[in-house]
Each structure stands twice: as C-alpha cells, then as structure tokens.
Structure 1
Amino acid sequence: MRVGFAGTPEFAAVALQALIDAGFTVPLVLSQPDRPAGRGMKLQASPVKQLALTHGIEVAQPRSLRLDGKFPEEAATGRDALVAAKLDVLVVAAYGLILPAWVLQLPRLGCLNIHASLLPRWRGAAPIHRAIEAGDTDTGITIMQMDEGLDTGDMLLIERLSITSVDTTASLHDRLAALGGRMIVEALELAGGGGLKPRRQPDDGVCYAHKIDKAESQIRWEESAEQIARRLRAFDPFPGGATQLEAETVKVWRAEVVEPADVAAEPGTIVSVDTQGPVVACGQGTVRLTELQRAGGKRLAASAFQQARPLRVGERFY
C-alpha cells in the first residue's frame, strides 16, 4: 500500500513515525510552508517535514491545493506531486489546509483523517483545548473517511481516552498523538483487507471547536473557580492565562480550586497567601495560583514567584 501523508505539527509527526515504523511505503508528504520562529524569526520546517526529510521522503509545501484559488501554480505543483506518487490512500493529521474534492477523490481508498475527538463532538480546529475547557471527562481519537464537510465524514475507528483532573492540553495532546498513531496503522491494515466498516456520524451532539484566539487568555475573575482552573489547563501551553496586577501583566499557568469556597471579596482579590501560592476570590469559589510568570520572565512555582514579587492579601488581579 502506497500511503501519502499530510500533516504539520508534532501531533501529526507522531502518526507519520508510526506509519514508517509499521513498514508502510510513504512516497510523499505534504506539510505547511516553513514559518518564521524563535527569537531570530528564522524560517523553520514543521515537525512533519523534518521527520520526512530524515527518512528521505519527498515533501511538497503548497500554500493551497485549490486549483482555482489564490495560489494556482503552487496548487498545480501539489497536484502533480500527488498524481506522480500513485497513492492508494492519503492520511491527514492536523495539516492545516482544506482539501478540495479532487484531492479527496484521487487516492484509491480516499483520504483518512486522524481527529482528536469523539466525533461528532468537537469538530474543528481545537478539539483538545475545547474538551478540557468544557469539563469533558473523556475524549479520544476518531479515524474518519474525509468528505468535503468540516469533520463530517464517516467514522471508521473510534477509541476513548479519559481526561484526568490534572490534564493540560500538552499532556492530553501527547497521549492522543500516541493513540492516533496506533489507530491509523490499525485502520490501514484493516483497509488493506476490506475490513473497515464506515458509520455515519450521528446528527445529535455536534460541537465546534473553534480555533484558540490569544485574546481568550484574559482571565475573567467573575467566572467560577472551576471554570478558571479548567481554562488554564486547556490553555497550557498556549496561550496561558493573562491578568493584570497593578501596572504589570502576569501570566497564570496553573491553579487549583480551593475549599472552603465562600469568601466575601471582589473577584480577583487575593484573600490569603502562603508558600503554596496566593488564594484568589472568583465569581464563585476561590482558586490557588500555583504557577505564574512575570513579563519577560520564566514560568515559576508560586513560592519562587513570590520571592521576586511578593503578593499581599487585599491586592487585586484585573
């Protein structure tokens, strides 16, 4: 089986490595164009491109695959590469480009997507973040036959994974990436023998995981302690939680709900301080901030943060 691969970030690179380790022939990889990164803003290849080049796999990086779109010449180059690869199937994982109909129809077995949610819940760009933010107790991987809709295709394989009370997007990402790599290998092995059984997604329970906006990082202290703690876990490693203390912007990375929760203070007010971190009043309940960061500084445990910037009862975050 000749397996093409389209993906960009580390989540996708884990799946590509799984396909390589399983012995599949991968003649072509599609990945997003190199982007400026780091302090020097030098162009940097995606994790998928770096892995592909390490294994001597051809890489194509068109900015679009729409032949009638903004970059028709690049799309035509991508089409030529896909046709020449003579693919049986194209595996897609967090690629970042919409695949037009001609791509979906080109491989003999179509295009299979590794999606990090239990479809139809959390279709869209940020399923891991949104599942944690919403307080879901489980998530998973769906291997899906792609169609022209947004994550609307038939489900081929689905497997659940529990979300723990301390999971961040970073920790859950790693577990889901490993699961996705294992499941896509299983799906392709089944596909080779005609063993995949497509199932339509149910009409009920559809949710959209909209892309994370940096503006969402602003902590809304009028929300409940539980909501604030969940969102901080969801926004780790990006974009974190931002709040203002006097004239300074402070990043909050971790917080835990504190009992008892009833305090007579305005949301955002520090009601107690100890070596474990400041306890802050919320719209409902309180949270203890356990990991913080000053502008231009490093992420610090609350005890280390307070040595550099002492926090006092009565001060208020905004």
Structure 2
Amino acid sequence: MLSIMFAGTPDFAVRHLSALLSAGKQVVCVLTKPDKAFGRGKKMTINLVKRLAEKNKIPILQLESLYGPEAQELISAFNFNIMIVVAYGLILPKNILEVPSLGCINVHASLLPLWRGAAPIQRSLCSGDRETGVTIIRMNDKLDGGDILYQEACPIESFDTTATLYNKLANLGVTSLLKTLDMLERKTDRAWKQDETQVSYANKLRVEEARLNWSVSATQLERCIRAFNPWPGSYFLVNNTLIKVWKASVLPSVSGYLTGQIIRADKHGIQVMSSDGILNLEELQIAGKKITKVQDLLNSRYKFFIPGNVII
C-alpha cells in the first residue's frame, strides 16, 4: 500500500484529502500552510485541510518555508513513499521533491501544458476556452512542468463561472487522483512529457483586472464577469459608487453610441456600449448590499443609469 504525505490548504485540497481517507488510503502526515489571522479582529483561522486532519488524528506539519535542512529533516522523518500536492500554496524545492521514493504528484486544474500557474480556471474562462480539465503530473523543479500521469477533459458551458468550474474540476480531480494512485499501485502507469510548444501561463489574479473596461468587446467583458465570480467580482464605478456585476449577456452592436454609453435601462437590463457589442447587465451589487436583479437596483438608483450617460 502507498504511504502518503498530503500537501494542501484550501477547499479544493480538502475534497481530495477527504476522498483519500474515504478510499482507505494511508495518509501518514498532512503538510499545510500556517494558520493566518483574518478579519478586523485578526482572529487566527484554521484552514479546512488542517481541520480534517485533526478530526482524523493525522499528524500535521505547518512550515513557514520548505527551504533549508530543517524542513527536509522534519518531512523526511515521516515514513511515506509518495507526496500528493493539491493547491498547497508553497513551492516545493528540489530537495523536498526528492524525499519520497515514488516522488511527488500534483493535481492541476487545467489541461497541461495549457495554463500553468496560479489561476488556471479564471484564465481559461477569460480566454473563451471550450474545455478545461484536470492533469495529474509527476512534479519536477519547473512550474507545473512535470510529466503527465493522467489527464481528463471537462467542457466549459456558456454559463460556467469560476465557482461552477471549481466544483466540477474538484470532483474530476478526485476521481482522476484515485485512478492515478491505482495505476501507481499496480505499476501500470505510463507518463508522457508535456509539449513545451503549447505552454501558456495563468498568472495570479489582481483586483485591478476586475474593473470593466468598456474599450474591449462585450464578449470579452462577459467572459471576465464569469471568470471573476466569486472573486474578486467584476465591477465599475458610477457616481463614485462601486457596483459589482455578477451576471450579464451580450447583445449585437448598434451605431451612434460612444464606448461606455448607456443605451437603455429597464427591467431587462442595463445596456452599455462596448468596443464591439452591447453588454447587458442583469445582476448587480452595490458595495455593502446584497446581489440583486437589475429592476430592484433601478428602483433605488435609477439616476445612476440614465440612458445617454457614459460610464467611465
């Protein structure tokens, strides 16, 4: 039987750890990021992976850094032959990758070599990809550049957001991981190298990216709205008020309007001209308020959306 050290931190990771435990896999240690203080009161928060490990009485390592002999010594002290890494949050240096006899494997939420890096789901949505998927790799010292052990695709629907794709890929990741472990245990795995000519990178998201830029097409804006749902949420400013957009649709262009100009505002949506096409805003949220249908917002803030006005 494989002896596993599991490295992960957020919800995406805890689903994989839970599946391993439910499948009866031997997890001898959990490696997760240190606890952090959140909120105004700076209350220390325990991440979900640590909570599950504590519940199952699994030893836990929370290291500030994996570099240096001390980290290697602490990790090597556990009797394991494979490390499974799922959204851990820290880079594993070469000396750590070499600790387990069967190496380290990683669950990545894209069809590698596409979208290596921190935000593969969001970048895939922004780019208008028709499919994404999960890739299990044998890790090396390159960012998401290891040989592929298993890969499975998932279609991207026109209504998918990062939130919906996150759930789909978490479920797909779990089944893919268990299949990969089964192949490794039976020694039927057949790894293949990534095509370096097809590499693309999914850079970490910045809040500034979420501001709607009317000088791009309505199609691109609608993709970004779905990509930045749930975080950080696409937004624009009107009357010095930040308004987030959670749902929108694309309508054909009409002539005679400026980029960012409001064409009409009624119960069917707030129509704003882009560089190509009209973005029809359908669900919005004023900062500090709940998400609401456009009609409810117009009832209280109609003066914000008078047709003819231009949103900068």
TM-score between both structures, scaled by the size of structure 2: 0.96
- The 3 A distance-change label for structure 1 pair 131 and 109 is same
The 5 A counterparts of 1:155-170 are: 155-170=148-163
Post-superposition shift, 1:9? Answer: 0.9
Post-superposition shift, 1:315? Answer: 2.5
Q: Deviations over 1:32-85 (max 9, x none)?
A: 111222453311112211221121111111111001xxxxxxx72x43442222
Tell whether 2:293 aligns with 1:292. Answer: no
Match of 1:99 among 76, 92, 111: 92
Q: Is the CA contact 1:117–1:127 (under 8 Å) kept in the aligned structure 2? A: yes
Post-superposition shift, 1:308? Answer: 2.4
Q: Is the CA contact 2:94–2:141 (under 8 Å) kept in the aligned structure 1? A: yes
Please state whether the residue corresponding to 2:67 is helix, strand or coil: coil
- Give the RMSD, CA atoms, in angstroms: 1.3
Post-superposition shift, 1:306? Answer: 1.8
- Match in the other structure for 2:295: 303
- Match in the other structure for 2:57: 56
Q: Percent identity?
A: 39
Q: Is the CA contact 2:80–2:100 (under 8 Å) kept in the aligned structure 1? A: yes
Post-superposition shift, 1:125? Answer: 0.6
Please state whether the residue corresponding to 1:287 is helix, strand or coil: strand
Tell whether 2:244 aligns with 1:251. Answer: yes
Query: d(CA) in 2 for partners of 1:162 and 1:41?
Result: 40
- Match in the other structure for 1:72: none
Q: Is the CA contact 1:263–1:285 (under 8 Å) kept in the aligned structure 2? A: no
The 5 A counterparts of 1:236-275 are: 236-258=229-251, 260-275=252-267
Query: d(CA) in 2 for partners of 1:36 and 1:307?
Result: 39
Alignment-mate amino acid for residue 241 of structure 1: S
- Match in the other structure for 1:190: 183
Query: d(CA) in 2 for partners of 1:157 and 1:151?
Result: 14
Q: Is the CA contact 1:245–1:316 (under 8 Å) kept in the aligned structure 2? A: no
- Match in the other structure for 1:71: none
Query: d(CA) in 2 for partners of 1:249 and 1:287?
Result: 18
- Match in the other structure for 2:138: 145
Alignment-mate amino acid for residue 36 of structure 1: A
Query: d(CA) in 2 for partners of 1:117 and 1:6?
Result: 19
Post-superposition shift, 1:247? Answer: 2.0
- Match in the other structure for 1:13: 14
Q: Deviations over 1:181-210 (max 9, x none)?
A: 111111111101111111000122110000
Tell whether 2:307 aligns with 1:313. Answer: yes
- Match in the other structure for 2:33: 32
Post-superposition shift, 1:312? Answer: 2.0
- Match in the other structure for 2:46: 45
- The 3 A distance-change label for structure 1 pair 92 and 315 is same
Match of 2:111 among 118, 121, 137: 118
Name stretches of at least 5 consecutive residues in structure 1 with no aligned partner: 68-74
Post-superposition shift, 1:223? Answer: 0.5
Number of equivalenced pairs: 309
Post-superposition shift, 1:263? Answer: 3.5
- Match in the other structure for 2:274: 282
TM-score between both structures, scaled by the size of structure 1: 0.94
Q: Is the CA contact 1:263–1:281 (under 8 Å) kept in the aligned structure 2? A: no
Name stretches of at least 5 consecutive residues in structure 2 with no aligned partner: none
Please state whether the residue corresponding to 1:170 is helix, strand or coil: helix
Larger mean Cα displacement after TM superposition, 125-134 or 180-189 = 180-189
Post-superposition shift, 1:301? Answer: 1.9
Larger mean Cα displacement after TM superposition, 129-138 or 261-270 = 261-270
Query: d(CA) in 1 for partners of 2:192 and 2:86?
Result: 20
Q: Is the CA contact 2:266–2:298 (under 8 Å) kept in the aligned structure 1? A: no
- Match in the other structure for 2:215: 222
- Match in the other structure for 2:121: 128
- Match in the other structure for 2:67: 66
- Match in the other structure for 2:226: 233
